Amino acid sequence: MRALLLVDIQNDFMPFGALPVAGGDEIVPVANALILRSGLVVATQDWHPVEHGSFASAHVGASPGDRVLLGGIDQMLWPDHCVQGTPGASFHSALDVAGIDRVVRKGSDPAIDSYSGFFDNDHRTATGLGEFLESHAVDEIVVLGLATDYCVRATVLDAVGLGFGVTLVTDGCRAVDATPGDGDRAIAEMHAAGVRVVESSHV
């Protein structure tokens, strides 16, 4: 069984959002077209409490782009984003949310970030996504969303580690590219891990 996995298609990652990803809104039609063609659709939602440890604002004297240790792990600091219950945490208004079967929220523990839809960054706490997919006999996932170099990358690499076959939809992803080339390097890393990398017309 194959499932479509939509990663963090939320307002704060759109060009008008708090943590803007260039071209982030261009993936919404790609997602909607694939939702129509998919049997099981799961979406992740970055879902932070106020003063989450990944926010620069939660660290005295820090700015977005600085790095700290969070939960013992190297952590990039971000502008406040995807705060639980705020408009920025909502899915893009044009996303076909009626076609989504299950939403998995992540990043709710203030003491650790969760780029992956499967586990917190320390891999100690699971979100329930893996169990949900297994309970539906899913062995193959098609992934797209935001951002290529953070949550898409982490989600895809965890999926490979869990034994899922993974297809990455390149025109359905956009990167933060904090360092130019980060998105392309993430795609190369996923490809090297055994991921099938295709455009949506080839899914």
Nearer to ligand VGL, 150 or 164 (CB): 150
**Angle in degrees, CA 187, 134, 38, rounded to 5:** 60
78 forms part of the interface with ligand VGL (CB under 6 A): yes
Contacts of 65 (CB under 8 A, 6+ apart): 56, 76, 77, 178
- The continuous run of DSSP H or E covering 144 comes out as strand 140-146
Nearer to ligand VGL, 93 or 134 (CB): 93
Q: Which one of ligand VGL, Zn ion, none is in contact with 147 (Cβ closer than 5 to 8 A by kind)?
A: ligand VGL
Written as six digits, the tokens of 84 are: 């639980």
Q: Which residues of the chain form contacts with Zn ion (CB under 5 A)?
A: 46
Rounded to the nearest 5°, which phi and psi values hold at 30?
-65, -45
46 forms part of the interface with ligand VGL (CB under 6 A): yes
* Candidate list 147, 156, 166, 186; residue touching ligand VGL; CB under 6 A: 147
142 forms part of the interface with ligand VGL (CB under 6 A): no
**Angle in degrees, CA 70, 75, 78, rounded to 5:** 110
Tell me the closest approach of the beta carbon of residue 144 to ligand VGL, in angstroms.
12
Residues identified as active-site: 8, 106, 151
